[in-house]
C-alpha cells in the first residue's frame, strides 16, 4: 500500500474515474467488482493510445454506458490465459461503437491478449484496487488532504476483480490472477513489473480496415521507405477462421527514437499504404506520468 501522500496524489488524479465508478455502482446499480474490472480495461486501453476514453464514456447517458460496460465484460473474456479464439458468430463483432474511429472487435483483444492481460493485472494492482472500494470509490478529505475513512474492505483482492456473473466467464482469469500474486515473489515474474520492457518502448500497435489487410512486407517497405532502416520486426495477426483476413499487428522498431517521428506530435498515426488504411499507436504506461502530474496539484 502506498504512503498517504502517494495515495492522495493517486486519488486526486483519478477523480473522474472515481466519479464514473460511483455513477455506475450507486446510480446505475452495477456490481462494484464488475465495474472495477471494466474500468481497469478502459484504463488499459488508454495506455495504448485511446486517450480520454473515461471522459468520453462518462459524457454518455446511462443506457449507452451500460452497453459499453457489458461489452467490456465480454472483451475481458478474450484476454484470459489459454482462452479459445472468438467463435464464428462473434469473431468480427464490433465493440465500443462510437468511441473509436478505427475498427475494434473481439479479435483485437484476443490477438493482444498476452500483453493486455499483464497490463490489466498491473493496473488493477497499482491503481484500481487503491481507488475503488466495495460500494463506492475511495474519497479524499479535502480539509486534511488524506484518504477518507472508506476502506476497500477486508478480503478485497485482485482475485475479486472480475466479479460474478450468471455465466461466470472469468473464473479462469480469477484463478490465474491469484496464482500470479504468488509468483510475484519471484523477482523474474513479469506480471507485476512496472513500467515498460525495452521492446515495449519500441513497439506500435497497428490496425487495418476490415477487408483491406496489409502484408508484413508492405508495412516493412512503407516504414523503411519513409524513415530508413528502422524496422526490427513486423508481426501480423494469424487468423484461425477460414476466409478471415488479418486486421491487427505490431511493428517493432530498432530504436524508440523513430516513434515520435511516426506520430508527428499526435497520439496516433493514420497512413494510406498502397491505398489501404493503417492506424498506428504506442503504449504509454499511464500511472507513472499521472503520479508526477498529481503531485503538482497537492
pLDDT, one tens digit per residue, over 192-250 is 334 456 787 889 999 988 778 899 999 999 999 999 999 999 999 887 766 778 888 99
Examine residue 55 and state whether it is found in any structural domain, yes or no: yes
Examine residue 295 and state whether it is found in any structural domain, yes or no: no
Examine residue 169 and state whether it is found in any structural domain, yes or no: no
pLDDT at 227: 95
Domain closes at, from 86, 107, 132:
132
Cα→Cα distances 73→37, 48, 139, 242, Å: 8, 19, 26, 27
Examine residue 251 and state whether it is found in any structural domain, yes or no: yes
65 touches 89 (CB < 8 A)? no
pLDDT at 288: 40
pLDDT at 65: 96
Examine residue 190 and state whether it is found in any structural domain, yes or no: no
pLDDT at 179: 39
CA-nearest of 81, 37, 73 to 175 is: 81
pLDDT at 68: 95
- Helix 4-13 vs helix 15-22: crossing angle, to nearest 10: 70
Q: Do residues 206 and 119 both lie within one domain?
A: no
Grid look-up 516504414 returns 223
Domain coverage including residue 103: 4-132
Domain closes at, from 81, 114, 132:
132
Q: Compute the distance between CA of residue 213 and CA of residue 234 in angstroms, rounded to an integer.
A: 14
pLDDT at 223: 95
pLDDT at 232: 94
pLDDT at 103: 77
The number of CA neighbours under 13 Å toward the Cβ of 226 is 15
Domain closes at, from 105, 132, 159:
132
273 touches 214 (CB < 8 A)? yes
User: How is residue 58 written as a grid cell?
Assistant: 462518462
What's the structural domain count of the chain? 2
Regions of the chain where pLDDT drops below 70: 1-5, 88-89, 91, 142-197, 241-242, 286-298
Q: Compute the distance between CA of residue 235 and CA of residue 217 in angstroms, rounded to an integer.
A: 10
3-state SS, residue 165: coil
Provide CB contacts within 8 A for 129, sequence distance 6+. Answer: 36, 152, 156, 157, 158, 161
45 touches 133 (CB < 8 A)? no
Q: Compute the distance between CA of residue 194 and CA of residue 271 in angstroms, rounded to an integer.
A: 32
Sign of CA dihedral 38, 44, 45, 51: positive
Amino acid at each position: 500500500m502506498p504512503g498517504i501522500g502517494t495515495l492522495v496524489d493517486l486519488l486526486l488524479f483519478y477523480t473522474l474515474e472515481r466519479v464514473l465508478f460511483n455513477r455506475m455502482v450507486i446510480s446505475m446499480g452495477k456490481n462494484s467488482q464488475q465495474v472495477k474490472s471494466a474500468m481497469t480495461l478502459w484504463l488499459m486501453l488508454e495506455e495504448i493510445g485511446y486517450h480520454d476514453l473515461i471522459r468520453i464514456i462518462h459524457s454518455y447517458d446511462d443506457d449507452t454506458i451500460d452497453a459499453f460496460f457489458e461489452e467490456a465484460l465480454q472483451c475481458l473474456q478474450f484476454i484470459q490465459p489459454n482462452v479459445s479464439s472468438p467463435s464464428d458468430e462473434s469473431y468480427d463483432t464490433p465493440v465500443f461503437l462510437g468511441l473509436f474511429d478505427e475498427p475494434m472487435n473481439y479479435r483485437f483483444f484476443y490477438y493482444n491478449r498476452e500483453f493486455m492481460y499483464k497490463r490489466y493485472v498491473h493496473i488493477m494492482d497499482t491503481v484500481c484496487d487503491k481507488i475503488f472500494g466495495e460500494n463506492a470509490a475511495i474519497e479524499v478529505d479535502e480539509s486534511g488532504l488524506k484518504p477518507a475513512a472508506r476502506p476497500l474492505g477486508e478480503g478485497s483482492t485482485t482475485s475479486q476483480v472480475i466479479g460474478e456473473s450468471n455465466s461466470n466467464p472469468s473464473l479462469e482469469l480469477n484463478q490465474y490472477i491469484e496464482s500470479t500474486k504468488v509468483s510475484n515473489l519471484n523477482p523474474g515474474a513479469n506480471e507485476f513489473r512496472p513500467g515498460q520492457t525495452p521492446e515495449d518502448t519500441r513497439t506500435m500497435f497497428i490496425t487495418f480496415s476490415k477487408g483491406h489487410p496489409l502484408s508484413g512486407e508492405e508495412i516493412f517497405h512503407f516504414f523503411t521507405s519513409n524513415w530508413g532502416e528502422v524496422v526490427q520486426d513486423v508481426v501480423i495477426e494469424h487468423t484461425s477462421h477460414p476466409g478471415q483476413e488479418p486486421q491487427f499487428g505490431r511493428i517493432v522498431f530498432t530504436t524508440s527514437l523513430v516513434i515520435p517521428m511516426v506520430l508527428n506530435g499526435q497520439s496516433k498515426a493514420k497512413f494510406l499504404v498502397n491505398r489501404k488504411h493503417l492506424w498506428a499507436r504506442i503504449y504509454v504506461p499511464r500511472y507513472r506520468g499521472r503520479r508526477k502530474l498529481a503531485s503538482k496539484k497537492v
